[in-house]
Structures are given as structure tokens and as C-alpha cells.
Structure 1
């Protein structure tokens, strides 16, 4: 695999991560591909094995690679829903992020709802109607209302067939 370039000695694991992500974006690495063994990959990139291990652990946490003990390291299916799974942590870091998220939702949700309306199944429509009924508890039961709202948004997302 000659696509793996030499990483400058001053670089850290982040540079290795960036390079491997670039190879994925450029389609030089594809879902299901097995990376070369750690020793070989470290030699190809001219990086230390500890730096490579750190980079691979980072990519594993990001759900970009899967580390299979005894088998090797593989590029995951790169499913968007798995890749965005940790965004809730990003939003929890700063209160202003919630305002930004709310502003973005106001822009995107009408389009997502239109998309969902085109693809919704009878079963999803029934689930959606049940959420609306459950949400009628309103201020009398804030926990039940919140759960109904969360379920409603989940069903709309599912019906849109778009994980974002």
C-alpha cells in the first residue's frame, strides 16, 4: 500500500489520524479494508508504534476503525449514525452550543419533516400519532412530555431516512 506517506518525526498521533482520515476521504481506504499490521504500518509511515496505537485508538473511539484483537484493524462501515453518536458530548460542553443547535434545528426541521412525510410508513405514522397523544399531558407531567417529544423527533428522523 504505497498510499501511506511518511509522517514527519515531530508529528503526533493527531497527524496520523488526519492522514488516515484523508486516505478514507480520498477512497484509498474503504469500509471493510484491513490495515497493514501495526509494526508494518508504523514502518511505512515512519512513526513510533505507541503514536500509531494512540491514533488507532482515537479512530476506534470515533468509530472509524475497529480493532479486532488477533485479527487486525479494519475500516468500519462508516455509517453516519455511528459516526455522529458522540455529538451529544460536544453539545454538553458549552451552553451557547444549545442556542446554536436550536437555531440550526429551526432551519433544518421543516425540510426534515418534509422528507419524513415522503418516506413515512404506516407503522411510523401510528407511532407519531401516539407521541402526539402522549404529549398532551403538557406541564402536568414534564417528564412524560419530554419523553414524548424525544420519541417524536426520533420517529421523524427515522422516517426521513437520514441520520443527520
Structure 2
């Protein structure tokens, strides 16, 4: 059974997704939300704090709480990601990522610059070092950043947004994902992706 705080979170979430609340809109004050929900700040405040932690809302000192602007560093992608993928299994999410990976890797191979390749190599090296030192946290972050850099290298902002959404979901389930895929096989797969991106640009051949 969901708590009142969860219900408030869910209500605001749906209003944003449905367009009732848009980027830049001001939320009712905590006191007003307490009256709307017939509850106390003990329930209202945690819901707002969770949304601010996700970057969905932002608090302006002396000015209230607002829906984050879509072009701010804190986009709505975490919220949309959880909304879209809430009921999907980890396996389904990974299959989805694998399907879109094909096109995005192609785009990166065709459009990446030397800086993209350098960043991919740094991520790959960080993954290898983290594997050797058994630092799962650093390994996971390097893995996620590797895929984000592929999206950036494609030079398509939509790819970046899609991967940003996936990153929030995958980070939340990273431990289970590592168990399912195996870290060693993941390193090998990432090396192959890096080589394909590097060589396709250099030789102008199709690797996919």
C-alpha cells in the first residue's frame, strides 16, 4: 500500500506527464498542498524532496517550487524514464537498448570526432581498471558513460536524450544487470564496439 507521500509524488508525476504541469510552472505551496491532500508537511515534504533530487522540480529561494525547465541541466528524463519503463522487466529493457544500440553505434562510427573516440577509450580503460580492482561502482559508471559517449558521438541530440533516459533506469538495476550479463563478457563486448567505431571511421567500411 502506497503512503500519502507516494500518492502526492504520483499525482505530480502524472500532471507533468499529461501536460497539466509544464516546465516553468509553479507548484502550490507546501501549506496549500497540505490542504489539498488533507495531510501534514511530514507527507508533503518528502514527495517534493524526491522530485527535487531527481531534478524534476527546483526550489527558488523565497520564490516557491517550480517544474524544472526542459533545457535545464536537470531535465525531465528521469521522470519520463521511470514512467515509461516502470512495468518492464530488466531483460526487456536490455533488449530494447541492444536494438537501438545498433543504429546509434552506426551513427557514432560515421560521425564521431577524435574527442569522442578519446572519451570512449578512457571509459573502456576505466572499466578494465575497475574490473581488476573489483570496484563495481566505478565499473558501472564507466559503462554508462561509455554508452552516453556513443550517443554524443552520433551527433544526434535525440539519441542523447534516449540514452539519458535509459541511464537512469539501468543505473537503478545495475547490480542485477551485471549478474545477468556477466562483467567479463561485457568488457569484451565494449572492446568490440570501440574497435568497430574506430575502424569504420578510419577505413570507411561497414561493420554492421
2:115 matched residue in structure 1: 127
SS in 2 for 1:36: coil
Q: Shift in Å at residue 143 of structure 1?
A: 3.2
Q: Which residue of 1 aligns with 2:156?
A: 160
For residues 160 and 56 of structure 1, do their structure 2 counterparts lie closer, same or farther at Cα, with a shift above 3 Å needed?
same
2:139 equivalent to 1:143: no
CA RMSD of aligned residues (A): 4.0
Q: Is the 8 A contact 2:68 2:76 kept in 1?
A: no
Matched residue, 1:52: 44
Show the counterpart of 2:27.
Answer: 35
- CA pair 157-40 structure 1, distance change in 2 beyond 3 A: same
User: TM-score, normalised on structure 1?
Assistant: 0.61
Once residues 57 and 20 of structure 2 are traced to their aligned partners in structure 1, the CA distance between those partners, rounded to angstroms, is 14
Q: CA deviation at 1:114?
A: 3.6
The Cα offsets for residues 10-39 of structure 1, whole Å up to 9 and x where unpaired, read as 951000000111111111111111112211
The equivalent of 1:62 in structure 2 is 54
Structure 1 consecutive aligned stretches of length 4 or more whose deviation exceeds 6 Å: 146-151
Structure 2 counterpart SS, 1:27: coil
TM-superposed CA distance for 1:100, in Å, is 7.0
Separation in structure 2 between the aligned mates of residue 80 and residue 64 of structure 1, nearest angstrom: 5
1:50-82 Cα shifts (integer Å, max 9, x gaps): 21111111111121111233221111125256x
Q: Matches of 1:50 and 1:151 in 2, distance apart? A: 37
Deviations 1:92-129 (A, max 9, x none): xxxxx6x77665543221122244467x3xxx422244
Match of 2:69 among 77, 82, 93: 77
Report SS of the residue matched to 2:66.
Answer: strand
**Structure 2 matches for 1:15-26, cutoff 5 A?**
15-26=7-18
Q: Distance in 2 between matches of 1:143 and 1:72?
A: 45
Q: Which has the higher helix share?
A: 2
Query: How far apart, in 2, do the equivalents of 1:14 and 1:148 lie?
Result: 32
Q: What residue ranges of structure 1 are gaps of 5+ in the alignment? A: 1-9, 88-96
